[in-house]
Amino acid sequence: MTHTILRLPAVKTETGISRSTHYLRITQGLFTKPVSLGPRAVGWPSSEVEAINAARIAGKTEEEIRALVVKLESARKTADQQPLLKGGA
């Protein structure tokens, strides 16, 4: 499985929304918060962008999308607890 992180220009292209609308949706709980890539760089997992786009295309309500965002962000925490190497070192 590939874990691609998209920077804002790519997210804007994928979603078709402006920078200000993107950050407004984050504030409203309609988009996941960014992942830190360094002191001055952030991005979003491509899988999360795809899931949110699919929900919008499917006509999900804002409440349903908020629930999806919570689920996606909690999955990040679960992934943090998984070992990086499987099967021993």
pLDDT band at 78 (very low <50, low <70, confident <90, very high): confident
Domain parsing of the chain, residue ranges: 5-78
Provide the 8-state DSSP code for 7.
Answer: -
pLDDT band at 55 (very low <50, low <70, confident <90, very high): very high
Contact of 19 with 8, CB cutoff 8 Å: yes
pTM, entire model: 0.85
Beta-strand runs (E) in the chain: 5-6, 35-38, 41-45
At 5-26, the pLDDT tens digits run 999 999 999 999 999 999 999 9
Report the CATH architecture of 5-78: Orthogonal Bundle (1.10)
Instruction: Write the CA distances from 15 to 26, 53, 77, 82, integer angstroms.
Output: 13, 7, 24, 30
| Long-range contact pairs involving 60-67 (C-beta distance under 8 Å, separation at least 24) | 62/28, 62/30, 65/30, 66/28, 66/29, 66/30
